[in-house]
Amino acid sequence: MPFVSSARYGKDNVRVYKVHRDQATGVQTVYEMTVCCLLEGDIASSYTHADNSVVVATDSIKNTIYITAKQSTVHPPEVYAATLSSHFIEKYGHIHAAHVKVVTHRWTRMDIDGTPHPHSFLRDGEEKRTVEATAHRGEGIAVDSGIQGLTVLKSTGSAFHGFLRDEYTTLPETWDRILSTDVDSTWKWARFADVQAVEKAAPQFDQAWEAARKITLKQFAEDNSASVQATMYKMCENILEAVPGVNHVEYSLPNKHYFELDLSWHKGIKNTGKDAEVYVPQSGPNGLIKCEVSRGEKDAKPKL
């Protein structure tokens, strides 16, 4: 007999906007998020026997996302995600785990004539702040925070040579190339016992996000990069050092290639090697380099 070996369901792409109005100053602060919330538990009968009695309707899940946004803080997003995920396992005995992903979109306060505007904002880039919180009955709350879609480029200060050469290799070695990527970084917090523990850690979440973003940009800019691998490892190391509550840091970095263009066919124009100025950005294929770096000794962690 086949059986349901794994199942989760819920609502995805729930768009939420919340405004905070400071009555004393008149300054408003806005948050815009896209939320995904998926439940796991004793729900197999809904698949195998059309038993809807175990189904918390995805519409109710959506309603809960909005009610929690109204009744709790949505900032830092780690606290909102943890509050939402633990709600489902506390409210429904047959739901054993709730996976909540919150993607926060940028609304950066406008600066008008050198003064921060009290209620006007701009979308300065498609970079997102991400949080995934999973409340698992009896196992506390796992929180992973991250950055997605932070697009960066350096026009020099990146090399790639000494790589394995064999009968499949055509790539020339380079000591000076363009390096560009869309940063996808995740830092994983030591597990929290409950929502109160997450709330207690609240100030650390913004600090960690700021540190991770700053480290990412600084390493990217300042590292004399031997490869994407070597540069991303340094970023992970620095984040582990800066954020004591984090035990694992992951990066996933596309290597977005910019190809040199030989224009010598037109009146002998020199545009390669040291004369290269005009390049062709590639939309694909791209390299994709991933790693996770963990606190502690190598042999203590079998996961690679």
Ligand X SMILES: O=c1[nH]c(=O)c2[nH]c(=O)[nH]c2[nH]1
Known binding-site residue numbers for urate: 58-59, 160, 177, 228-229, 255
Instruction: Mark 183-214 as b/e (b = at least 16 C-beta within 10 Å).
Output: bbbbbbbeebeebeebbebeebbeebbebbbe
Region near ligand X per CB under 6 A, out of 56-64, 87-95, 223-231, 236-244: 223-231
- In the complex with ligand X, which residue's Cβ is closer, 71 or 170? 170
Does 105 participate in catalysis according to the annotation? no
Q: Where are the alpha helices (DSSP H) in the chain?
A: 44-48, 58-71, 77-91, 195-200, 202-222, 228-242
Of 247, 287, 291, 301, the one binding ligand X by CB under 6 A: 287
- Enumerate residues 143-162 that contact ligand X by CB under 6 A: 160
Does 11 participate in catalysis according to the annotation? yes
For residue 27, count CB atoms less than 10 angstroms from its CB and return exposed for 0-12, middle for 13-18, buried for 19 or more.
Answer: middle
Does 130 participate in catalysis according to the annotation? no
Binding mask 247-276 for ligand X (x = CB under 6 A): --------x---------------------
Handedness of CA 281, 283, 287, 292 (dihedral sign): positive
Q: Is 228 in the site for ligand X (CB under 6 A)?
A: yes
Neighbours of 136 (CB within 10 A): 17
Region near ligand X per CB under 6 A, out of 65-73, 85-93, 119-127, 224-232: 224-232
Catalytically annotated residues: 11, 58, 257
Interface residues with ligand X (CB under 6 A) are 160, 171, 227-229, 255, 287, 289
